[in-house]
Amino acid sequence: MTPTARTVVIETHGGPEVLTLTDRPVGEPGAGEIRLRHKACGLNFIDCYQRTGLYPMTLPHALGMEAAGVVEAVGEGVTHLAPGDRVAYAANPPGAYTEARVMPAAQVCKLPDAISFDEGAAMMLKGMTVQYLFHRTTPLKAGDTVLFHAAAGGVGLIACQWARSEGIRLIGTAGSDEKCQLALDHGAEACINYTTEDFTARTRELTDGRGVDVVMDSIGKSTFLGSLDCLKPLGMMISFGNASGPVEAFNLGLLAQKGSLKVTRPTLFAHTADPQACQEMAAMLFDKVTSGAVKIRIDQRFPLDQVAEAHRALESRRTTGQTILTLD
């Protein structure tokens, strides 16, 4: 009999109510694939975008982009992993919300013994996102200033610590005084409560009117234009998420008017498509964590069968730090 695993799937796009837990056959790995048994799964905004159809998928489809666990079997041609290896990943195709799965091996990374499965499941997508923001998108050096939106979220708290470890001045934004304090505790030099302050004006004050070198923005529609006004001439706007909705069309001439600004819309999976690059990015992340420079803060844990409530909490911004789905 083919073993099965509890797996979260959607048969139609929509709200959290479309998430369904079902038993699915696992199967055996083919060439270039592995079978792994998950210990914990990560939760990310991209999962919500796929569920709603903002990022359409062929349906029905399993959800989830990151997890950690133990390799059970490897297919032909897989040389960097072996049965029994502790691993973690953030990778396509979606399907991480499950007890076990068969998937491509190339973007799966060995997890150091010093990092727990819960931490591994929580850190890969967000941590490698921070890695490409700081090291693969635009040159950054000690002394540069970054404005980082949603600084108390999962990506944000890693970014605050990462910036501090590299001497980069990070100004954060968050939606409450409590969340601002959390960002400050994790290394932000300053944090702006955007519900009580104009983040553009305050950023200008904090930089003596000069503006910041880079804006890193996962909020999207509601913060995009204001963020452009936070940049110094020749500054870089990195729009890497859509929490408030996708950025609307704008006049490209604005970039010239505001100081020859640069704008990019990167995705993690473009950076990790090359297997060697993916492994190198993960290695840098693992070094940051094992050295203590970055601590992975898991503030929410939901059992797999409560995945709909986990999505509701994430979308309503009731979460801080990392959120994982547990399988015990």
Which CATH number goes with the domain that contains 116?
3.90.180.10
In a domain, 270, yes or no: no
283-288, long-range: CB < 8 A, 24+ apart: 283/109, 284/131, 284/135, 285/123, 285/124, 285/127, 285/128, 285/130, 285/131, 286/109, 286/111, 286/112, 286/115, 288/127, 288/161, 288/162, 288/165
In a domain, 274, yes or no: no
In a domain, 224, yes or no: yes
Q: Which of 231, 265, 299 is the last residue of a domain?
A: 265
In a domain, 62, yes or no: yes
Q: Are 171 and 211 in the same domain?
A: yes
In a domain, 110, yes or no: yes
Q: Are 155 and 259 in the same domain?
A: yes
In a domain, 133, yes or no: no
Domain count, the chain: 2
Alpha-carbon span 164 to 78, nearest angstrom: 37
CATH code of the domain covering residue 200: 3.40.50.720
Q: Are 119 and 142 in the same domain?
A: no
In a domain, 130, yes or no: no
In a domain, 277, yes or no: no
Residue from 157, 162, 206 nearest 185 by CA: 157
Q: Are 226 and 164 in the same domain?
A: yes
Domain containing residue 150? 138-265
pTM of the model: 0.94
Q: Are 89 and 64 in the same domain?
A: yes
pLDDT in tens for each of the 328 residues of the chain?
A: 458 999 999 999 999 999 999 999 999 999 999 999 999 999 999 999 999 999 999 999 999 999 999 999 999 999 999 999 999 999 999 999 999 999 999 999 999 999 999 999 999 999 999 999 999 999 999 999 999 999 999 999 999 999 999 999 999 999 999 999 999 999 999 999 999 999 999 999 999 999 999 999 999 999 999 999 999 999 999 999 988 888 999 999 999 999 999 999 999 999 999 999 999 999 999 999 999 999 999 999 999 999 999 999 999 988 888 999 999 7
